[in-house]
A and B are shown apart, each in its own frame.
Chain A
Amino acid sequence: MTVTRPPHDPELDAALEVMLESLPAGTMNAETAAAMRDADGAQLPGLDPEDLAALGVISRDVVIPVADGAELAGTIFSRADHTGTGPGIYHVHGGGMVTGHRLLGVQQTLPWIVEHDAVVLTVDYRLAPEHPDPYPVEDSYAGLVWMAEHAADLGVDPDRMIIVGASAGGGIAAGTALLARDRSGPRLAGQVLICPMIDDRDATASAAQVTERTTWTRDSNRYGWSSLLGDRVGTEDVSIYAAPARATDLSGLPPTYIDCGSAEVFRDEDVAYALGLWEAGVDAELHVWAGGFHGFEMLAPHAAVSQASLAARDSWVARTIGDR
């Protein structure tokens, strides 16, 4: 039985139609995941060096050692004229747990670098299914710890560090924040969870509604979670760090920004996470954008509803790490 989902915003839907014609398939599976990775992420909109130069932003690559002996590639972005200390932004890329690279989605932090003189670190965590849970979230946490430990060298104020991620990156960011809380790790000043993927249980109304003609279907979601968790998916044997929606105690987390679209798989788990944070006495700001599919503001940033979404997010970041 098909369940009616809220309609797409017409301006977004027109952009989606054109995009769906260009993309290989709207569904993530082993085949499309492999195809996207072979291209080294280059077929997805990456970071344009001209954009960086025009904004006065510079970047340098770093290598981050992990406890098991592996090394993670990372990139640091800052204003060319950065001096002293500024806010720190730890970015976690998306890609359904199975694809993506550290430059994917980092564009959205560029205005915050310019506006607030922030320093950004983004890291290549190891991907499922070759590196299933807990690799992605543990790698991500290792990157955050590295950033806090090197705060002085990086020109970062350790009391003004936030974590940001979209989609799977939002889920890993939420898990990383839970790890930081439970291990008394870096004290985050905020977490920005953009349409985060946080629930492996596949039991929400929004998951049942969003099955086709979209950017992230229920089937894609099942594939992503199965790749991360294997046979454990949907069972009792899944940690709150892998699937933060399973956390029953959200107290002690930093102020949180959550946004999503009304027509995406993650809508209900994202709304529930905000409710849980409020219940635990954590400050959270939640925006559910009408007619938005998954990642609408990244796919069609020029649309009116995307403009509203980006402005709201920028505003929260300014209130959290900007000069007050």
Chain B
Amino acid sequence: MRDLLGKLTALDPEASETLKVVGYFDALTSRGAGLGSLLRAAAALAGCPAVAEVDGRVTAYDPAGRRLAEAADRPRGSVVAFRSGAVWLVREGSPHANDAMITDRLGVAVEGLASQHSATREIEVVVDAERAVAERRTALVRLGIDLGASVRVILSDDDPGARWTKTAPVPTPLGVLHTTLEVRPGGVAAADHAWDGHSRVGIGTWTRADSAPDSWEAALVAHRLLGEGPGTVLDAADLGSMLILARAYDPTSPHPDVTALESLDAVTAEILRELVDADSLRAAAARLAMHHSTLQARHESITTRLGYDPRTTVGRLRYMSAEFLRRLGG
């Protein structure tokens, strides 16, 4: 059986065999090829079976693309070992000139595949602002993400499912959340409705890959704002300039305005909301089914308690900022 590399060389004798092998594996990897595709390619290129052992599991294909049930006991040629396993060719006799190059590229591709499945540490590093930039960049390279690519971080309660490969459960101030890196290499991002059906999904802002912690922070803000509500998705980009306010806020040492809101009982909090929202005191009284003069008295006591009048322009803004930050502290 003539091997694929021989055929390619016959078609185009001037291009180097290395280029063809590298090109083929790169083409497969960039299209998200799985272990089977990679092994079939290696076997076809070499003209003999190709085998991978990853985390103790052995998989083998012959050059015609058929899966081999038993390959572990057969001769191992041009072995390339990596962290989670090894790849090799079942070559009877002495190795052919290109065997080592084929298993080298196969090894890189299979290792890349294997590390996708155990990317937890790398993802932790990539979103962590405390890490040095150099460390985050190394982790990005390991994940196969271009440093200049656009990424955003998505924090979800649930495992996002198989379509997301760069995902891992990572500890956050809100507990362990599934942390997913969405990469946009100049193409189109997945639509946000891809997240419908998941409970509580905070979507971060797009940023350069090596600034992923910014996106992580934004995703955390979005996730916080969702509170305990059921099945909702919030994109930090929809917060506009409020995101700046949220980022500057440390929920562990809340502002007195926030503490003041937190101390209100439910009825008072509702009255306050109506005072802020309603066009007039009379309208607020009608909505609350309260007597106008009673509401006026409550308005005065609330103003005293907060230290500002929530029905003035500045007071409204102050209330809304404090309420926004209160929900962040959730």
- Which A residues are closer than 8 A to B by beta carbons? 10-11, 13-15, 17-19, 21-23, 43, 45, 48, 50-51, 54, 300-304, 306-307
Rounded to whole angstroms, the CA-CA distance of A19 and B15 in the bound complex is 12
- Given contacts A23-B12, A45-B7, A302-B63, could you give 12 more A-B pairs where the C-beta distance is less than 8 Å? A11-B41, A15-B41, A18-B20, A18-B24, A50-B1, A54-B1, A302-B43, A302-B44, A302-B64, A304-B37, A304-B40, A307-B66
Indicate if B33 sits at the interface (CB-CB under 8 A).
yes
B27 pairs with A13, CB closer than 8 A:
yes
- Nearest-neighbour CB distance to chain B for A17, whole angstroms, equals 4
Interface residues of B toward A: which range?
20 to 34
Rounded to whole angstroms, the CA-CA distance of A317 and B2 in the bound complex is 25
Which residues of chain B (14-65) have a CB below 8 Å from chain A? 15, 20, 23-24, 27-28, 31-33, 36-37, 40-41, 43-44, 61, 63-65
Contacts of B11 in A (CB 8 A): 19, 22-23, 43
- Residue in chain A with minimal CB distance to B63: A302
Q: List 26 A-B pairs, Cβ < 8 Å.
A: A10-B28, A10-B32, A10-B33, A10-B37, A11-B37, A13-B27, A14-B28, A14-B33, A14-B37, A15-B24, A15-B41, A17-B24, A18-B8, A18-B24, A21-B15, A21-B20, A23-B11, A50-B1, A54-B1, A302-B44, A303-B37, A303-B40, A304-B37, A304-B40, A304-B65, A307-B65
- Residue in chain B with minimal CB distance to A23: B11
- Nearest-neighbour CB distance to chain A for B308, whole angstroms, equals 59
- Nearest-neighbour CB distance to chain B for A213, whole angstroms, equals 13
- Nearest-neighbour CB distance to chain A for B29, whole angstroms, equals 9
- Which B residues are closer than 8 A to A by beta carbons? 1-2, 4, 7-8, 10-12, 15, 20, 23-24, 27-28, 31-33, 36-37, 40-41, 43-44, 61, 63-66
Contacts of A45 in B (CB 8 A): 2, 7, 10
- Residue in chain A with minimal CB distance to B23: A18
Rounded to whole angstroms, the CA-CA distance of A22 and B14 in the bound complex is 9
Contacts of B28 in A (CB 8 A): 10-11, 14
Task: State which of A10, A14, A23, A51 has its C-beta within 8 Å of the C-beta of B24.
Answer: A14
- Residue in chain A with minimal CB distance to B19: A21
Shortest beta-carbon contacts, A-B, top 10: A302-B65, A22-B12, A14-B27, A10-B31, A302-B44, A22-B11, A14-B28, A17-B27, A302-B40, A11-B37
- Residue in chain A with minimal CB distance to B29: A14
- Residue in chain A with minimal CB distance to B25: A14
Rounded to whole angstroms, the CA-CA distance of A21 and B2 in the bound complex is 20
**Given the known A-B contacts A48-B2, A301-B64, A303-B65, are A21 and B12 also in contact in the complex, defined by CB atoms under 8 Å?**
yes
